Amino acid sequence: MPPPCKRRNIQESKPKAVESTDSHFDRSPHAPNVCVPLDILLLILDAVEEGWSPQIYASCARTSRAMLRPSQVRMYRTVLINQPHHFASFSRTMLGNRDLALLVKKLIADVGTGWPAFQDLPADQLPLSSNAISRLQNLQELTVIGLYPNIFHPKQAMSSPLIERFLGAFAASCSKLRCLRLKQLELQEYAGLVRHIVSFSEMETLELDCVTWTRHGRLRSPERYIRDGACTNLHTLKISFCGTHRRKAWNFITFSGWGTSIQQLVIRVPHKKLLKRELKGLSAFLRLRSFELHLSNDDIRCSPVALRHITSAAIRTVRVVHHCQMQGDVLALYAGLGLDDVLAEPQYTSLESVAWCLVSDRSDADGWFQDIPRCFPGLVKRGILVSERRRLPE
């Protein structure tokens, strides 16, 4: 009788570390015996989303073939690329796997972080190849981040034509885009910004955070944009003005007819950066239903000025956020704003809510918050005042 075979200890080899989001899941080995029910594994994947990590999703995909597709869906739902090699590897993945390209719903392209490598690109190339962009047929949200203006340097100044071509490539290919966020960009012309924005025909939300331009440029008349149906779906506009960079004034009246569709408007203004003439253009938003204004310290005195320029009869909610680190009698300042009278004007007769939000970490801020209703008795009588309190983030 032959001797019994020696028992071998079988050890699973550890999966290789995932270097980037372009790892091909279908080439990864799967563990042969996984007995955990699929619904439990999916719960694990859902928990991962709070601490998003491509490496974790790739590891989950290798546990079993049943986990491959769910992991891919979660991993490529939101993609952040912020280094030149990230842009290159993401391009290769999109070009090499059309199915993965269709999974991308949100893309955050931080061009500014890798700008030194992008600034010398030939005129026919982009940070992310146009062919790869054309594969993103299901993209719904796009964020493009540039260089913060206060670190502009002659050798690092961003090339506006490159950024505009980059935006144009998405406008030409991503017909399902609903939300566009532009951050820390300085363009050559305001007119150029408008032309690219109106190219996204299905866009519903536009966020402009520290977006500036060097000159106004030539715009078509607002009537032509309206006639051509540009931005008819654009309902939400959020603008954050720059706090550390000299900027051109916004003129909402020449905002390309967008005022005919905007229903929700949010404006954030850093301290001492408000230009009162900009507020006159708020009358251009004829269908505005919700208006939110963020002001700092004694700039809060401009809040009634802004509210007086709103003429939309559809306005239903107003929210004023006061970022307050100032000293002095803040309650007397509030009472002297005359908001009761301003919000009693005809366009505000159908108001449903007026929220006053105090953002401060001063020791006496709790007392200010408690006495906010005393500053606006007319709004209290109408039953529409809502007081809010937030502390500054640590």
- How confident is the model over 164-206, as pLDDT tens digits? 889 999 999 998 999 999 998 888 888 888 888 888 888 999 9
Asked if 248 and 221 count as a contact pair (C-beta separation under 8 A), the reply is no
In this prediction, residue 249 has a pLDDT band, given cuts at 50, 70 and 90, of low
Most confident of 160-169, 217-226, 288-297: 288-297
Answer for the pair 305, 333: CB distance below 8 angstroms, yes or no. no
**Phi first, then psi: what are they for 171, rounded to 5°?**
-60, -35
**Confidence category of residue 20, pLDDT binned at 50, 70, 90:** very low
130-146 average pLDDT score: 95
Is there a contact between 108 and 137 (Cβ–Cβ < 8 Å)?
Answer: no
Provide the 3-class DSSP secondary structure of residue 282: helix
pLDDT at 14: 36
pLDDT at 280 over 70: yes
Confidence class for position 279, pLDDT limits 50, 70, 90: confident
Segments in 180-295 forming alpha helices (H):
190-197, 222-227, 276-279
pLDDT of 63 higher than 80: no
* Residue position matching structure tokens 């999916």: 42
Return the H-helix or E-strand segment holding 57: helix 54-63
d(CA 361, CA 366): 9
> CATH 3.80.10: which residues of the chain?
78-390
Token output for 198: 């109106």
| Topology (CATH) of 78-390 | 3.80.10
**How far is the C-alpha of 374 from the C-alpha of 379, rounded, in Å?**
10
Q: Which of the two residues, 36 and 10, has the higher pLDDT score?
A: 36
123-127, 155-159, 346-350: the lowest-pLDDT one:
155-159
- The conformational region for residue 312 under phi > 0 = left, psi -120 to 50 = alpha, else beta, is beta
Average pLDDT, the chain: 80
Taking residue 282's Cβ as centre, other Cβ atoms within 10 Å add up to: 23
